[in-house]
Structure 1
Amino acid sequence: MTSKPEKVRWGILGPGNIAKAFAGGVAHSRTGTLVAVGARNPGKAGLTEAFPGARILDGYEALLGDPDVDAIYISTPHPSHAEWAIKAAEAGKHVLCEKPLGLTAFEADAMIHAARKAGTFLGEAFMYRLHPQTARLVELIRAGAIGEIKMIKSSFGFAMPGFMPEHRLYAKDLAGGGILDVGGYPVSMARLIAGAAAGKPFAEPDEVVGAAHLGQSGVDEWASALLHFPGGIVAEVSCSISLAQDNVLRILGNKGRIEVADFWYAGGQQGGTGEIRIIRPGDTEVVEVKEDGWLYAFEVDAAGEAILGGKQEFAWPGMGWADSLGNLRVLDKWRAAIGLEYDIEKPAKRVNTISGRKLRAGGTAIPKRSIPGLPRPASCLALGFEDFRTFSSGAILLDAYFEAGGNLFDTAFVYGSGYTETLLGQWLKNRGVREQSVVIGKGAHSPLCYPDVIGKQLTQSLERLQTDHIDVYFMHRDNPDVPVDEFVDAMDREVKAGRIRGPFGGSNWTMERMDEAIAYAERTGKQKPGALSNNFSLAEMLEPIWAGCVTSSSDEWKAWLTARQMPNFAWSSQGRGFFTDRAGRDRRDNEELVRVWYSDKNFGRRDRAIELAKRLGKSPIHVALAYVLAQPFPSVPLIGPRSLDELEDSLQALDISLSPDDLAWLDSGSDQARARA
């Protein structure tokens, strides 16, 4: 049996200035030793002197492949953090990544996903969070040293010698500027203090308002934001790379205030005494925090203790995964408020996947099936991605879905005010996979639900999608006041023009209107509707989630779909949380769940899904999705994961094979079906 190492053997990826500070921390730590440095220019003068005792390796891949390295400290410029953290996890290496963990919360989530799968440690290097002075400050807040916390003022700003276009801090391609380089410090502090005031590890703001000055290179040279937290705490945070600030942390309560100068460096990088000043009416108390330990040694030891203890993330007050994600979500909102998107995030330069590799085809985790009217097989799960607002964030999920074998994408004219179509069009062109993909489009949503709107909106959709045709097209809503033949005529014209090259039909159409539309098309020789996109789930929708919505989960609908072998692209196929812990007979806090899904019949189905999931080692939501997939008609669930974890979790449903008796038991609980199940 191999014994656990007494110390963590560190390798540094990217030998810059911050790496030298980290190396000093390793040298003065209890748990680590520096054994190697990966450099793209290993012959550069001074490396051996800067990292005494460490082997200088030729390139980052050499560091990841070194069997004598346990953990990697990543200190490269921000845009490459995600790539190398993911590659390190895949290589079985633990990772401590210099802040920010990723350019966005979406990147950080992908990094966490990789670490979780690999079973490796991943931490974000905010060194101040591990220093004893931070713990002492939290103690004072929790003890009520200045009463109830009302406001926090925190800054981290400095002035570069002048505009230096070649420097990474001014380079838009390298995600320069203050928000990502130092803005995360005051934001993380505000969240830490607001959390301490509420008796929690950290708190998340419910409102973020940001402003900044964008300099001649397009990066934020100085910026400020207001954060409002539940309970009324307001934080003013600021950062800068071209403006010196006092960098005094100020915490204001109803009985006084706390001030700490140069908080980020505590008593000094090589130890010293920090001062926390508690100022009350007529009195000032100075709390000294004397510490001989080196500043960066604390994060080395915190990471080392986690790694040696088999943990995958920092213990508090270090930045654990949820903490890092919350911090980056604030920075994302701050950047969005000032309109700052780095060039490296745009389609022209974001040509590889998040791991730095070209997109790979041929995945088989998501099987494909033939759908009547489609010229190519389509994946059994369709991906919806309405929640993403940048190419760099959406591409992470799109890439992963495609590499797993998915090729069916669900869009609509109204989603994201058109951005969902734009994002997909950028991705299809950027990745060169339009001919391998099947695109679902939808148009003519109420109140613009008229036949003459279809062509106009389809024109705009095709422009956004950067293609000349849609593969599957749906009327997004129905308008019963308009004769159904007018809608069929409008869709048929688009088919003849080659702009719809697969089946079309109705989304949220009733059985009667579909029958009428099919009959009209058959009488007149027009192309008839060949697909439907209604709600379908193991839980039957009791009333519409939104106005004009239609469910097809009833026995009558299932018989109709089976008899016609009508493909149904099912939205809300997993009951919008009904098969998770968000629902329960005694849980009535979610108005939508109660209104739309709560019934004795649905809870019976939920009970049986829970029972079967336990037997299969799955979750009820997996059983619910498998139910939709196993129908005796072409049934294609639309899924809308927001993260790689959610996508991978949904794919677990593909391991479940349900027989007709299983379906009947889940639906009705019949004894015969129970015996079969």
Structure 2
Amino acid sequence: LYANDLAGGGILDVGGYPVSMARLIAGAATGQPFAEPDKVLGAAHLGQSGVDEWASALLHFAGGIVAEISCSISLDQDNILRIFGAKGRIEVPDFWFAGGNRDVGPGRIEVIRSGAAREVISLNETRHLYSFEVDAAGEAIQAGRQEFAWPGMSWADSLGTLRVLDKWRAAVGLEYEIEKPAKRLNTISGRPLRTDGTAIGKRVLPSLPKPVSLLALGFEDFRSFSSGSILLDAYFEAGGNLFDTGFVYGGGYTETLLGQWLKNRGVREKSVIIAKGAHSPLCYPDVIAKQLAQSLDRLQTDHVDIYFMHRDNPDVPVGEFVDAMDAEARAGRIRGLFGGSNWTMERMDEAITYAKKNGRQKPGALSNNFSLAEMLEPIWAGCVTSSTDAWKAWLAARQMPHFAWSSQGRGFFTDRAGRDRTDNEELVRVWYSERNFARRDRAIELARKLGKSPIHIALAYVLAQPFPSVPLIGPRTLDELEDSLRALDIKLTPEDVAWLDEGAERRRA
């Protein structure tokens, strides 16, 4: 319990019990088998051994439900479940056992209503806790199921509890030695990283010396090497080699994590790095060199392969930005393409014209939003979409590589969206229009015919453009990564693309 190298401490030893109970109760209160907290705050005492000897957490759920939980391996805490409401509370002493603690008699549920007598419900169950688990397992096996039926814990329920435990550990700063880069030289299975994957195909882009994968991986949400490396390994082993980073992502940790992984796995020369800098409000020419130097230090490399200015500043003459990026290319710190992310068509044209007239390397790539659904309002301040008809014609005429962020519409092509679903403010504000819903309807129709999901069609649409189009995907789990890869065997024709866009007559072979 006190060994850091064996993942000791209270959170992973007994923390799962209060977490599971809190998720169960929050789910029951909202009519679900379980609920996921949207916020996890934590505090803990880390002893000399480097593990949490006692810890507490606050879990916030939708609907204003808040759970306060604690666990320890060094303190004598009471094991009482308390549920508070506007009209009273419920207490369950020794809730570990259905029949109560064997040493103190039958279990009980106490209902304490405001201004009323305490009601005690006795549970005269004599069986031991584990006998219920044995019975549930036997029933599942006999029924041919691989997981428990509610109120037993499903796989999704168990994984949800584990995610909360990880967030709790992160909140208190608990990292085990085995999770650190120096100890994670191999994949989660214990074997070296494979480098011959072909599930994700590759293509050649102008000015890049090595082929790049059809999908680029963005991973700004990971906060530890142990979790991030699992996804990076899986993506690379599937054939992916294009990694999207940004100076501001995770306060710099995304670049640090990728740099650790590239060095740890020894695959820098097989990989293509996209870096971004000069995000507003620090969007000035002199910032580019300073931030790129910091990015290279975090990435543990002497160059990036593709560089984007993360925003534009129209108050600065575009030539000054071109000069700054050209200087980095001449110095060898950018060894491929550079360009703008969230830049307008007019500024890109102006930048290209300036470069040609002044003997500079011209911007050769763009990274705006692009998806089957057209962005109606910026998701964040300063965002630009290339999903308009004018942009598509511009990109096709110039054959400029486009690296599309939010390429799957940020949930618009899932069940989170719908003409009758208005609970998600961002979806409604950014994507809801009849034209987009008509495109969504056609994606659903085609998905049913192909045995896919609409989100696969949306990703295939971005890949099928008549210009070099590279979707940036941001899976948070292995399941999400594997699901995205299912889009790669969909080959849309130009007629399919036109039909998805505007409902024109479609012809499939």
Scaled to the shorter chain, the TM-score interval is: over 0.9
Question: Amino acid of the residue matched to residue 612 of structure 1?
Answer: L
Question: What secondary structure is seen at the aligned counterpart in 2 of 1:225?
Answer: strand
**1:286-435 correspondence to structure 2 within 5 Å:** 287-291=122-126, 293-435=127-269
- In 2, the alpha carbon distance for the partners of 1:534 and 1:427 equals 27
C-alpha displacement of 1:630: 1.2
C-alpha displacement of 1:259: 4.6
Distance 1:555 1:225, change over 3 A: closer
Q: Does 1:533 align with 2:345?
A: no
Q: Is the 8 A contact 2:100 2:108 kept in 1?
A: no
Q: Which shows bigger deviation, 216-225 or 314-323? A: 314-323
Q: Specify the structure having the higher radius of gyration (Cα).
A: 1
Q: Which shows bigger deviation, 304-313 or 201-210? A: 201-210
Question: What secondary structure is seen at the aligned counterpart in 2 of 1:191?
Answer: helix
Count of matched residue pairs: 506
Question: What secondary structure is seen at the aligned counterpart in 2 of 1:502?
Answer: strand
Distance 1:516 1:285, change over 3 A: closer
Q: Does 1:617 align with 2:468?
A: no
Q: For residue 213 of structure 1, what is the aligned residue in structure 2?
A: 45
C-alpha displacement of 1:256: 5.9
Question: What secondary structure is seen at the aligned counterpart in 2 of 1:622?
Answer: helix
Question: Amino acid of the residue matched to residue 198 of structure 2?
Answer: T
Q: For residue 597 of structure 1, what is the aligned residue in structure 2?
A: 431
CA RMSD in angstroms, aligned pairs only: 2.4
Question: Amino acid of the residue matched to residue 424 of structure 2?
Answer: N
- In 2, the alpha carbon distance for the partners of 1:260 and 1:492 equals 68
C-alpha displacement of 1:515: 1.7
Q: For residue 632 of structure 1, what is the aligned residue in structure 2?
A: 466
Q: Is the 8 A contact 2:456 2:487 kept in 1?
A: yes
- In 1, the alpha carbon distance for the partners of 2:65 and 2:507 equals 58
C-alpha displacement of 1:325: 2.7
Q: Is the 8 A contact 1:269 1:296 kept in 2?
A: no
**Structure 1 residues without counterparts, runs of 5 or longer:** 1-168
**Structure 2 residues without counterparts, runs of 5 or longer:** none
- In 2, the alpha carbon distance for the partners of 1:613 and 1:277 equals 50
Q: For residue 189 of structure 1, what is the aligned residue in structure 2?
A: 21
Q: Which shows bigger deviation, 465-474 or 354-363? A: 354-363
Q: For residue 326 of structure 2, what is the aligned residue in structure 1?
A: 492
C-alpha displacement of 1:435: 0.7
Q: For residue 275 of structure 1, what is the aligned residue in structure 2?
A: 107
Q: Is the 8 A contact 2:4 2:51 kept in 1?
A: yes
- TM-score, normalising length: structure 2: 0.93
Question: Amino acid of the residue matched to residue 227 of structure 2?
Answer: S
Q: Is the 8 A contact 2:208 2:336 kept in 1?
A: yes
Q: Between the two proteins, what is the percent identity of the paired residues?
A: 80
Deviations 1:351-370 (A, max 9, x none): 22222322111111100000
Q: For residue 243 of structure 1, what is the aligned residue in structure 2?
A: 75
Distance 1:201 1:572, change over 3 A: closer
Q: For residue 180 of structure 1, what is the aligned residue in structure 2?
A: 12
C-alpha displacement of 1:488: 1.0
Q: For residue 128 of structure 1, what is the aligned residue in structure 2?
A: none
Q: For residue 397 of structure 2, what is the aligned residue in structure 1?
A: 563
Q: Which shows bigger deviation, 454-463 or 474-483? A: 474-483
Distance 1:371 1:283, change over 3 A: closer
- In 2, the alpha carbon distance for the partners of 1:534 and 1:547 equals 13
Question: What secondary structure is seen at the aligned counterpart in 1 of 2:175?
Answer: coil
Deviations 1:404-463 (A, max 9, x none): 100001011111111111111111111111111000001101111111000000001001
C-alpha displacement of 1:206: 4.4
Deviations 1:455-494 (A, max 9, x none): 0000010011111100000111111111111111111111
Distance 1:528 1:274, change over 3 A: same
Question: Amino acid of the residue matched to residue 264 of structure 2?
Answer: N
Q: Is the 8 A contact 2:94 2:107 kept in 1?
A: no
- In 2, the alpha carbon distance for the partners of 1:642 and 1:478 equals 29
- TM-score, normalising length: structure 1: 0.71
- In 2, the alpha carbon distance for the partners of 1:395 and 1:215 equals 27
- In 2, the alpha carbon distance for the partners of 1:442 and 1:614 equals 38
Q: Is the 8 A contact 1:506 1:532 kept in 2?
A: yes
- In 2, the alpha carbon distance for the partners of 1:509 and 1:575 equals 19
Question: What secondary structure is seen at the aligned counterpart in 1 of 2:163?
Answer: helix
